[in-house]
Structure 1
Amino acid sequence: MKSDDEILDMVRRDPGLAELLRDVCEFDLTRGDHVESVRLLSRQVLEGIAGDFTGGTFFLCGERRSIRPVLYASSEGQAGLIGHSLAEALEVMIGLPSWWDCLKFSGGGDLVTMQSAADHLQRDEFRDQPELGAKRIQLARALSLDLATVPLLLARLRDAVAGSEPNFLLTIETGEEYESLFGPWSPSRNPSWVEIPPSRPERQDQECRPAAGR
């Protein structure tokens, strides 16, 4: 497994790879500054390394070494670990369509619920961005990362987020803590994912029945 610095150096030296990483994962090395001043409750060092298109930030946690835990903080006040190294976090982001929504619609961190959300998200991606599948394979190969199965990646992501407490709780300067990355909702909360039952055809004898009063 490549170290965190090796991966970052590869991306910084290769503009094409950096663009591919932005396209597939919304992981942009030019967006490392968070929207507000934050720190870990444990006082461990935080290093912002990238951001996404919604204002969220990816941090490496702890003193500098070959691999460090990766914490994601959204711009809306949720935060938590998403991998125990940059390679592990990127494998989750590359292999899981809209990993953030898998957490948002997780029913508080239920793995079965996360799988249901992932199924919906994968169908949405195939419909709306069919080219992303090939880009995911290209990106994983370029970074020498594994493309694990979706159930395995979901389990890794769920375990990482669940392990955020107590050492990786993010706070603002006043001491107020960020919320968990686990959202309380189930996929049924998303109206576009609700299955619409087919309408029942009216019975022929009803169509031919004379109107009342005739």
Structure 2
Amino acid sequence: MTSSDHLLDMIRNTPEIDLLLRTSFGFDVGRKHHGEGLRLASGAPLEPIAGESAGGAYFLCAEEDGRRPVVFASSEGEGGLIADDLADALEIIIGLEWRDCLGFSGGGDVEVMQVSARHLERSLTRGNPEVAEERAHVAATLSLRVVPVAGLVSRLWKAASRTVPDYVVTTEDGEAYDPPFGEHSEPRHGGWH
């Protein structure tokens, strides 16, 4: 059994963790039917492992050097590599508002991502004061690390920067998903507040 299989089994068999991942962090192993028919541009298959409420999907790629990279494909047609294995992906998913961080990246500028992540973290904490305890609980149960936001941003940027050419997500018809980095550096209406 791979470490990815072990983590997925732990999530499925621990209802409290499954619920927290689904409701607080947008990682729902019960939605693994999302994204059927997607593959990498190389033609390599993707194994759906989870979805999120907006219709996006998480996938495992074929094993490389004992690890299975994780890609995400949104329902809006953006996608790419988020981590080199499921443990790294879950640390990013629970520790960072990662999709918005990529969206407000100024086209992939790691410094812009760091600023965005700090604003997003403040907003998340205001909306969910228990998020730190939820992160710690999920991390402890799944033997993950709680990594500072700045470190997670660096890891996410590094992975997403490697999307092209090996981790470009495509449809069955060969239509490529847009890269994961958004062009904006802050929300268009009102900026960060």
Tell me, in whole angstroms, the C-alpha distance in 2 between the residues paired with 1:125 and 1:171.
Answer: 32
Residue 155 of structure 2 corresponds to: 156
SS in 2 for 1:187: coil
Tell me, in whole angstroms, the C-alpha distance in 2 between the residues paired with 1:64 and 1:150.
Answer: 27
Identify if the C-alpha distance between structure 1 residues 6 and 36 changes in structure 2 by more than 3 Å, giving closer, same or farther: closer
124-133 vs 48-57, which deviates more? 124-133
Identity between Structure 1 and Structure 2 (%): 46
Structure 1: segments with no counterpart, 5+ residues: 195-214
Identify if the C-alpha distance between structure 1 residues 190 and 35 changes in structure 2 by more than 3 Å, giving closer, same or farther: farther
Residue correspondence of structure 1 range 132-147 to structure 2 within 5 A: 132-147=131-146
Listed one character per residue, the Cα deviations across residues 89-135 of structure 1 (whole Å, up to 9, x for unaligned) are: 00111111x21000000001111101111111111112111111111
Residue 88 of structure 2 corresponds to: 88
Identify if the C-alpha distance between structure 1 residues 190 and 101 changes in structure 2 by more than 3 Å, giving closer, same or farther: farther
> Under a length normalisation based on structure 2, what TM-score does the superposition of the two structures give?
0.93
Tell me, in whole angstroms, the C-alpha distance in 2 between the residues paired with 1:24 and 1:188.
Answer: 22
> Under a length normalisation based on structure 1, what TM-score does the superposition of the two structures give?
0.84
Q: Does structure 2 conserve the Cα–Cα contact (< 8 Å) formed by 1:24 and 1:136?
A: no
Residue 64 of structure 1 deviates from its aligned partner by 9.4
31-40 vs 70-79, which deviates more? 31-40
Identify if the C-alpha distance between structure 1 residues 81 and 123 changes in structure 2 by more than 3 Å, giving closer, same or farther: same
53-62 vs 125-134, which deviates more? 125-134
Residue 72 of structure 2 corresponds to: 72
Q: Does structure 2 conserve the Cα–Cα contact (< 8 Å) formed by 1:36 and 1:172?
A: no
Residue 26 of structure 1 corresponds to: 26
1:146 partner amino acid: R
Tell me, in whole angstroms, the C-alpha distance in 2 between the residues paired with 1:63 and 1:145.
Answer: 20
Tell me, in whole angstroms, the C-alpha distance in 1 between the residues paired with 2:63 and 2:154.
Answer: 27
Residue 98 of structure 2 corresponds to: 99
Structure 2: segments with no counterpart, 5+ residues: none
Residue correspondence of structure 1 range 41-80 to structure 2 within 5 A: 41-62=41-62, 67-80=67-80
Residue 22 of structure 1 deviates from its aligned partner by 1.2
Tell me, in whole angstroms, the C-alpha distance in 2 between the residues paired with 1:34 and 1:21.
Answer: 17
Tell me, in whole angstroms, the C-alpha distance in 1 between the residues paired with 2:160 and 2:65.
Answer: 21
Residue 63 of structure 1 deviates from its aligned partner by 5.1
Identify if the C-alpha distance between structure 1 residues 113 and 50 changes in structure 2 by more than 3 Å, giving closer, same or farther: same
Tell me, in whole angstroms, the C-alpha distance in 2 between the residues paired with 1:37 and 1:9.
Answer: 24
Task: Say how many residue pairs are matched.
Answer: 192
Structure 1 or 2, whichever has the larger Rg, is: 1
119-128 vs 50-59, which deviates more? 119-128
Name segments (4+ residues, structure 1) moved above 4 Å: 63-66
Tell me, in whole angstroms, the C-alpha distance in 2 between the residues paired with 1:167 and 1:113.
Answer: 25
Q: Does structure 2 conserve the Cα–Cα contact (< 8 Å) formed by 1:3 and 1:66?
A: no
